[in-house]
Structure 1
Amino acid sequence: MLFDLVKKDFILAKKYWLLMLIFVTGAPIYVETQTHAMSGGLLGFLVTVLLAEYMLFNSVSISEDKYKGAALLSATPYTRKTLVKAKYLFIAGIFIGCYILYTITAFLLPDYIVMLNLLTLGISFLTVTVYYGVIVPLQYRFGYEKVRYISFFAIFAVPFLFPYIWKRIQSRTIDWQTMFLFPPVIQEFLPFFLALLIGLISMAVSIRIYSQKDL
């Protein structure tokens, strides 16, 4: 039942599939060539996945808001808890799809983009989780119309702010591994653990909000 709901979201966003396929394949190449691959693939992949997530998630939210999808789904056998879980799985599914496409592109065109290492992938996943960990509960609480401007400005600020932040980080001679007392292997997996924790907390908050909401 849960995966049927995730499939439903992907079907609602089907008109953007071809556009997203072209964008997710081409955007990392453009970003990385412009930055001379100084971020090890992080900037190209992160900007791409954030924009892809925004476009697909936003298209589903528009459809559900326009056709009163929440009210209609509440009349089905699906529980509100299941509906919320499906929304988070949809976001995770987009991330996985973007990573697969990026990896295929990096394999075919190694001169333009590099393969992501575990830490870079974890930082990207953590960033996406933090963003949607805030946006999704807000959307359940206040509705799509009231939250869409916040999400719009936040998501499109990333491509402008991240290069500046990255340059500032690179300008400082910081040994990141010595800042943490964990072994290198744990440091590589730490962003995934944090993302999982944040995602579970956000999901619990969203379930609580949605279960008490009058549709």
Structure 2
Amino acid sequence: MLFSLVKKDLLLAKKYLMFMTIFSFVSPLLIASRSSFSDTGFVSLLITVLLTEYILYISISSLEDKSKGAALLCTTPYKRNGVIKAKYLLILIIFMCCFILYTILTYLGISPNIQQMSITKIGTIMLVLSIFFGILIPVQVKFGYEKTKYIGFIIVFLTPFVLPNLIKWYTSSNLSINFTISLSQNIYGWIPFVLSLIIGYISMQVSIRIYSKKDL
């Protein structure tokens, strides 16, 4: 049933899917070619995923808002918690698709700046997404699309300009944060994934609680 709801969302965004697929494939190359620091793959994938996720998510939210889709779904056998879970599942599926496209780029060898990333870096990207959408989705569920659409827009579209500068500042300032954890390197690499899942789960439960009490 969840996949049926995700399929519904993808059908709503079908006119954007081809463009966003091309964008997700080309964007890492463009960003990497303009980056002036070493870890271009990480930055290019993070920015690409964040933009792709947000554009598709906000496009679907806009169409649902115009068509009163939330109210109509409540007249169907779909439960409210299923509607919310489908939103989070959609975010995960889009992330996986973007990662697959990036992996294809690494094997094609089109750019030396596009290289395979470690589990920790992939998890870090997923963690950033979990924090961003973990805040955005409950806020949007609470206050509605119209009142929140510009918040994410400003944050996401400032990211390509702000994030590279933040990374440059961090790498040039010689700051270091050291944690002493008695774990193997393999387990340590999966910590961002675990944190992202925890944040996503908490956010989803908050969204479900808000949505269950909302008058549609």
Same fold (TM over 0.5): yes
- Kindly provide the amino acid, as one letter, of the partner of residue 49 in structure 1: V
How many correspondences in the alignment?
Answer: 214
Q: Which residue of 2 aligns with 1:19?
A: 19
Q: Which residue of 2 aligns with 1:10?
A: 10
Q: Deviating runs (4+, > 6 A) in structure 1? A: none
Over the aligned positions, Cα root-mean-square deviation in angstroms equals 1.4
- Kindly provide the amino acid, as one letter, of the partner of residue 207 in structure 1: I
Q: Which residue of 2 aligns with 1:98?
A: 98
Q: Residues 72 and 205 of structure 1: is their aligned pair in 2 closer, same or farther, counting only changes over 3 Å?
A: same
- Kindly provide the amino acid, as one letter, of the partner of residue 150 in structure 1: I
TM-score by length of 2: 0.94
- Kindly provide the amino acid, as one letter, of the partner of residue 53 in structure 1: E
CA distance in structure 1 between the partners assigned to 2:195 and 2:107 by the alignment: 29
Range moving further from structure 2, 178-187 or 9-18 = 178-187
1:183 aligns with 2:184: yes
- Kindly provide the amino acid, as one letter, of the partner of residue 184 in structure 2: P
CA distance in structure 1 between the partners assigned to 2:160 and 2:56 by the alignment: 18
1:41 Cα deviation from its structure 2 partner: 1.1
Structure 2 spans left out of the alignment, 5+ residues: none
Secondary structure of residue in 2 paired with 1:179: coil
1:132 aligns with 2:117: no
CA distance in structure 1 between the partners assigned to 2:148 and 2:176 by the alignment: 38
1:154 Cα deviation from its structure 2 partner: 1.1
CA distance in structure 2 between the partners assigned to 1:23 and 1:112 by the alignment: 18
CA distance in structure 2 between the partners assigned to 1:62 and 1:173 by the alignment: 43
1:117 Cα deviation from its structure 2 partner: 1.5
Structure 1 spans left out of the alignment, 5+ residues: none
Identity across the alignment (%): 45
CA distance in structure 1 between the partners assigned to 2:113 and 2:13 by the alignment: 29
1:36 Cα deviation from its structure 2 partner: 4.5
Secondary structure of residue in 1 paired with 2:84: helix
Q: Which residue of 2 aligns with 1:113?
A: 114
1:199 aligns with 2:200: yes
1:35 Cα deviation from its structure 2 partner: 1.3
Q: Indicate conservation of the 8 Å contact 1:106/1:112, yes or no.
A: no
CA distance in structure 1 between the partners assigned to 2:3 and 2:180 by the alignment: 38
1:173 Cα deviation from its structure 2 partner: 3.2
- Kindly provide the amino acid, as one letter, of the partner of residue 140 in structure 1: V
CA distance in structure 2 between the partners assigned to 1:40 and 1:56 by the alignment: 24
1:40 Cα deviation from its structure 2 partner: 4.8
CA distance in structure 2 between the partners assigned to 1:96 and 1:54 by the alignment: 15
CA distance in structure 2 between the partners assigned to 1:110 and 1:189 by the alignment: 28
- Kindly provide the amino acid, as one letter, of the partner of residue 27 in structure 2: A
